[in-house]
Structure 1
Amino acid sequence: MGSCICGKKNLKDHSVHLSHEEFKLAGNELFKAGKYEEAIIQYTKAIKSNPNVSVYFSNRALCFYKLKNYSNSFQDGYSALNLDKSNVKAILMCIKSKVSQTLNPSSNSLILFEESLSFFEHLNNLPSAIYTDLIKAHFHLLKTKILLLKPYIEKTHKKTLIEKYYEPFIPKNLYEKLSKYLVIENKCMEALVCPLTLEFFENPVAISSGYTYEHKMVKSLVNNNNFHDPLNRKYFSQTAIYCNKAVKDAVLWYTEKYPEIVYMSDNKELEI
């Protein structure tokens, strides 16, 4: 009798485990499809079913990050890290969420920036089986990119402090004129962004229909035997696809001048 009850209990526990695991798997599929809001719903169900699994929080954190909800992505990343100190994605989410928050100028920008760097210390506690040479290289690259942002963060931080100090004393019409001289120019040039991926070009190619796209997008069209330009629907030839060196050089120049743009562009970000 006792054995039978134990067996039923184990069966029940197993079904509960499958339930929250299935929610996670459903969330994974939705994430791959780019349906981040729907994926969040599934990961939330998994968390409610079993709030002790670190991966559920770090997966949901990545969804929030993709939606540019950096406050929630940090909170989930931090929760995941508290549950499992060896969760690399959790550390990554804490770092990137904090840095992304600094890019929205405020009086706390420098504090948030320093906090983002502090999470790199968690990497020192990772076992060697997890903290491989490849992961080390990824995080080294990420830290290099973040440090490139520091002059930009300091500049925008100073601008915010100046505005905050003078706004109460200067008439509104005069303040509006003054604020124009405090603008930090960091807007993206549309010509340097692929109209399909909406990210900076890495390997721009010009096709015979007249448009330039990211090479991987054109390759995908060719692989699917689709030879019509996605924008103007004109036919393009598979044998007339050329590297657009002018655009590639322009992207290189622009991202060197504005290193913060390199970090903010998704196709330049580190994913683990």
Structure 2
Amino acid sequence: MSTNNNASGSDRILKIVVIGGTGLIGKKVVRSLLDLGHNAIAASPSTGVNTISGEGLAEAMAGADVVVDVANAPFFENQAVLEFFQIAGKNIVAAETAAGVKHHVALSVVGTDRLPDSGYFLAKLEQEKGIKEGGIPFTIVRATQFFEFVGAIAQAATREDVVRVSPALFQPIAADDVAAAVVDAALGAPLNGISEVAGPEKIGLAALVRRHLEATGDKREVIEDLQAGYFGTFVDDTSLTPGANPRLGSIRYDEWLSQALAAR
């Protein structure tokens, strides 16, 4: 998944704590880091590490070189998700500072700074602000939407078996490609800035949902609607697509979908 071997150009084995290490991206990041010979720790409530209560956080970070945060909020109500990222962020920075962590890597979302009407994106922006002000050298990796969530996008936009979706362009990406970008960021020097990663092709949101439903035998009708928005906020062709010179994943949607359907 990744070809980068270490953070400093040496052969030193790094201790890397992966917050959210049991989730979709986190599992892939941990596995890749272990395969590369590093000491990767999956930190999540299920492994005894809770970034909200602080339980197990100091113990997990003791001796850590790098912390990777790929955790997502377990809910999406505006105030709740904002509080999640604020509290977790403060607790993580405090534990990193005490442990002498040298690099904080966080997974964020392309479009975070362009969708002010979305409570979730505002919360992610607040998370990024806390990282920048936290005093730990950092790299923020902004990724476009994952292929794995196209079905959920369709479900959220469904009313009485009709899926009303914006035709705005976006550039979705496979979780494997996201994880590879996060791993390389963790093993590289801190950017003290933001990098972007996206899929290899741009496609209209409605067109991709239609392609997904057809491939899975779903008979729901897809209607393109410029006003349909994206999880409650208006989007256009620039909202969910990366800026200049993003890192591009290698996996195309049709290839991923074929493999996902075969795995079923």
Q: TM-score, normalised by structure 1?
A: 0.27
Structure index of larger Rg: 1
Structure in which a larger fraction of residues adopt helix: 1
Structure in which a larger fraction of residues adopt strand: 2
